[in-house]
Copies of this chain bind each other. A is one copy, B any other.
Amino acid sequence: MTASAASDAPFLAAARGLPAAHTPVWFMRQAGRSLPEYRAVRGEGSILDAIKQPERAADITMQPVRRYGVDAAVLYSDIVVPPHAVGFGVDVAPGTGPVAAQPLRTIADLARLRPLEPDDVSYVADTVDLLVGELPPEVPLLSFAGAPFTVASYLIEGGPSRTYRHTKAMMYSEELLWHRVMERLAESAITFIDVQLRHGARAFQLFDSWAGSLSVADYDRFVFPHSERVFAELADKHPDVVGIHFGIGCDHLLERMYAAGPGVIGLDWRTPIRAARSRLGADTVVQGNLDPSLVLAGQAPAVTGARRVLADNDGHPGHIFNLGHGVDKDSDPAVLQAVVDLVHEETRS
């Protein structure tokens, strides 16, 4: 990709706060169960096995790009790929999410979470290679990783949790172990994203989906230094690459998550774009934030909601349109298409 082609990509322009041909749109979890063409090729078995097949993973990554005309491709992957790749013992149970039969509770368990090496995820590099050859220059490929806290919560709880009781028990009762786990997961996220950027991904997102379960004080003490390190080391290695930081229900952590160093802050629908720029600075580049429940609710509510998001952004060039959470599997692709078309039409320069 030439420098000029890259700068013509609406996603890359908006990510730097620069004017673009239109406001770029992509959807978290755009490649997945809401698409009939995904269900047609996905087959049975763990998503972690599907991710290991570069041609299939590249095809799935391309599906929403072909269907919707979105402005970014996001690699078909999962936040537990790195711990899975080093043999920790974690899988993704259909309908449940990440599960670990032997959760991480003691220093002995940490031995199963050895440092990630690039060769552990060579299949991911292969998928990126395929995609970089296929994607048009105006549609960059995004890499993503789970932030250390969110990945830790799955490994420590052994599965999805409402309470994060074991995670919080480790924070409060075994702080040294906690920080060792977080250091390991930060290194792993850095390696995982670095591999993809070296192979041609053009931006990345760090998903701290469940950080919103923490108070600011706990976030600062137990999480912030590790997520900050991820952004800092990736900025050192790839100074021109923009990182996005996103979590659900993180309005109360907004200043801290932005201070961790991303170029773009991802917002869920609870934080108005206007409020984010008022708190973080008028030039803040934001991503979001249509309530995905409005997509489920139907085309009229979704389009009304999308118009409100655009009005909230008020023409600021630093806006990447997205949902405020991942696409729900029951979403109607026709509604998402209507949202993409609306955003492109309303913002065409």
Mark each residue of chain A from 150 to 175: 1 if its CB lies under 8 Å from any CB of chain B, else 0.
00000000000001111011001100
Stretch with Cβ within 8 A of B (4 or more), from A14-22, A42-50, A212-220: A212-220
Chain B residues in 8 Å Cβ range of A305: 172
State A182–B305 Cα separation when bound (angstroms).
21
Asked if A169 contacts B249 (CB within 8 A), the reply is: no
Binding site for B on A (CB under 8 A): 163-166, 168-169, 172-173, 212-217, 249, 251-252, 269-272, 275, 291-294, 296-298, 300-301, 304-305, 308, 328
- Expressed in whole angstroms, the Cα–Cα distance for A328 and B291 within the complex equals 29
Looking at the assembled complex, report how far the CB atom of A150 sits from the nearest CB atom of chain B, in whole angstroms: 16
The minimal Cβ–Cβ distance linking A301 to chain B, given in whole angstroms, is: 4
- 15 other A-B residue contacts (CB within 8 Å) besides A165-B297, A214-B270, A252-B252: A163-B292, A163-B293, A163-B328, A165-B296, A166-B297, A168-B297, A169-B296, A172-B301, A173-B301, A212-B249, A212-B270, A215-B269, A215-B270, A251-B252, A252-B270
Q: Kindly list chain B residues whose C-beta atoms are within 8 Å of the C-beta of A168.
A: 291, 293-294, 296-297, 301
Q: Is the CB of A271 within 8 A of B252?
A: yes
Which among B172, B217, B251, B304 is the interface contact of A297 at CB below 8 angstroms?
B172
B-chain residues with CB within 8 Å of residue A328 when the two chains form the complex: 163
A213 to B248, CA, bound (A): 10
Neighbouring B residues of A216 by C-beta, 8 Å: 270, 272, 275
**In the complex with contacts A252-B271, A271-B252, A297-B169 CB distance below 8 A:** yes
Write 8 A-B pairs (CB below 8 A) sorted by A numbering. Answer: A163-B293, A163-B328, A168-B296, A169-B297, A172-B294, A172-B305, A173-B298, A173-B300
Residues of B near A217 (CB, < 8 A) are 272, 308
Contact check, A172 vs B251: say whether CB atoms are below 8 A apart: no
Bound complex: CA A165 to CA B308 (Å):
18
A118 to B120, CA, bound (A): 67
User: A250 → chain B, closest Cβ, in Å?
Assistant: 9
Most B CB contacts (10 A, CB to CB) among A172, A213, A271, A292 go to A172
Distance in angstroms between the alpha carbons of A337 and B275 in the assembled complex? 41
The 8 residue pairs across chains A and B that have the minimum distance between CB atoms: A169-B297, A172-B301, A165-B296, A251-B252, A163-B293, A168-B293, A252-B270, A165-B293
Instruction: Give the complex CA separation of A301 and B163 in angstroms.
Output: 14
